[in-house]
Structure 1
Amino acid sequence: MGHGPATANQLLKKNIAVDCFPKENASSQELLNIKECAELANRKILIVRGKGGSETLKKYLSASNQVDYLEVYERIPCKLSKIHKESLMSFVNHPDGASMATSNESLVNIIQLVSSASSTYLEILKSRRMIVFSERIKSTAKNLGFKKIEVTQNPSDEDFVGILFNKKL
């Protein structure tokens, strides 16, 4: 099973069968709403994910299956560099700038990086458009003080660009 269209496409390119995936609103919850997933029982399931990812799938599937994780990547915050500072100055000087967060971890990392540059920059960032890949990230962004949060229909570059330029895909 894939998690969404992007994951499914990558698996299919490698000739790996994909039983099902959410066509829209790709998320753990949408995956669990699919009949093939909801009816899984007495199976060994391996969830491939990033370190510290969502627990939603495991919590639900563990009731009637043996579920394990294979954590294949980790999001690590970076240190503020000269290029970051220059990019942030450009961002704050262009009022139509928007930002993007693909996970709660990346959102927290963005805040840490920007706040290490300037508290003023952080307030400007929070007042600008923030495009996120899920309702879960939107909730986190709202709790962190972002004002203009938009959610892509799917976690894809195409949907991000569509929202950024107000296109209906």
Structure 2
Amino acid sequence: MTQPLAGVHIAVTRPPEQATKMNAAIAQAGGWVISFPLLDITSLPDLSAFHAAITPLHQFDWAIFISSNAVQYGMPLLQQDPLPARLKFAAIGPTTASALGSFGVTEVVKPADRFDSESLLILPELQQMQGQRVLIVRGVGGREVLADTLKQRGAEVVFGECYRRINPQKNADLLTQAHAGNQLQAIIITSSEALRFLLDVAGELDWLKAVPLFVNHDRIAEQAQSHGLTVISAGQPGDEAMLQLLTRHFNPNK
């Protein structure tokens, strides 16, 4: 059986527990996985600010989740009391909506194609927001465009920050050494934070400019290109889309 990624060394930067399927798919296709997690998700040591933000929960008309991590860390806290029947849910994309489903939330507004704040803001349900109170469940920090636009539309917005993102890598020696030995042909990046953390530890960018980044979102591609990096975008989430992107690039005749 032809292995379309035979001999290709690919750095996977997702947290190990989130990269299991991707790593297995790469190995099955003949590729070599370099595990280089650039993102670690941890709970907050003090959740008092989160609880203060969401209390009382019945004040909100909408709860918007910006990632599956926001669901995993936020929903158990929200469900400590019964969810208000009037509370409507929105998710940044299908993966996040599916995570909400695992908590019994089945009616979720979500974008149909590109999965980001801008696409969420296009949805008709989020146009007339005058007098609406919105809870945005997220990690510490992040983009403000969603909150700012909803405020411009008349909504009151509260952030419920329930986790944080940290970079577990102190340097990029593993990748630079692999590149020097011609054993690094691709780096997979699936979040803006991971890209930012990669740039933080990369040092001199000459080596990084020589290695194509494979990303799942056009916004990440735009950010990487602004640093002069070579980027190939799947334009959609999911391990299958990423594997197809890698296969087309390294084995275009198959």
Conserved in 1, the CA contact under 8 Å of 2:140 and 2:164? yes
Greater than 6 Å deviation, 4+ residue runs: none
Pick one of 192, 195, 209 that aligns with 1:126: 209
Q: TM-score, normalised by structure 1?
A: 0.79
Find the counterpart in structure 2 of residue 21 from structure 1. 110
Find the counterpart in structure 2 of residue 110 from structure 1. 198
Distance 2:143 2:158 in 1: 13
Distance 2:242 2:129 in 1: 32
Find the counterpart in structure 2 of residue 66 from structure 1. 156
The structure with more helix, counted as a fraction of residues: 1
Provide the secondary structure at the position in 2 that maps to 1:70: strand
Find the counterpart in structure 2 of residue 85 from structure 1. 173
For residues 6 and 91 of structure 1, do their structure 2 counterparts lie closer, same or farther at Cα, with a shift above 3 Å needed?
farther
Q: Does 1:138 align with 2:221?
A: yes
Distance 2:217 2:143 in 1: 12
Q: How far 1:80 moved relative to its partner? A: 3.0
Larger radius of gyration: 2
- The structure, 1 or 2, with the larger RCO (C-alpha pairs under 8 Å, 6+ apart) is 2
For residues 87 and 142 of structure 1, do their structure 2 counterparts lie closer, same or farther at Cα, with a shift above 3 Å needed?
closer
Q: How far 1:69 moved relative to its partner? A: 0.9
The number of equivalent residue pairs is 159
Matched residues, percent identical? 26
Find the counterpart in structure 1 of residue 101 from structure 2. 12
Provide the secondary structure at the position in 2 that maps to 1:47: strand
1:21-60 pair list within 5 angstroms: 21-60=110-149
Find the counterpart in structure 1 of residue 237 from structure 2. 155
CA RMSD of aligned residues (A): 2.4
Q: Which amino acid aligns with 1:40?
A: M
Q: Deviations over 1:21-47 (max 9, x none)?
A: 112111111111111122333211111
Q: How far 1:92 moved relative to its partner? A: 4.4
Q: How far 1:95 moved relative to its partner? A: 6.4
Distance 2:187 2:239 in 1: 13
For residues 72 and 162 of structure 1, do their structure 2 counterparts lie closer, same or farther at Cα, with a shift above 3 Å needed?
farther
Structure 2 unmatched runs, 5+? 1-89, 250-254
Q: How far 1:14 moved relative to its partner? A: 1.5
Deviates more, 1:95-104 or 1:50-59: 95-104
Conserved in 2, the CA contact under 8 Å of 1:47 and 1:67? yes
Distance 1:162 1:92 in 2: 27
Q: TM-score, normalised by structure 2?
A: 0.55
Provide the secondary structure at the position in 2 that maps to 1:48: strand
Conserved in 1, the CA contact under 8 Å of 2:179 and 2:207? no
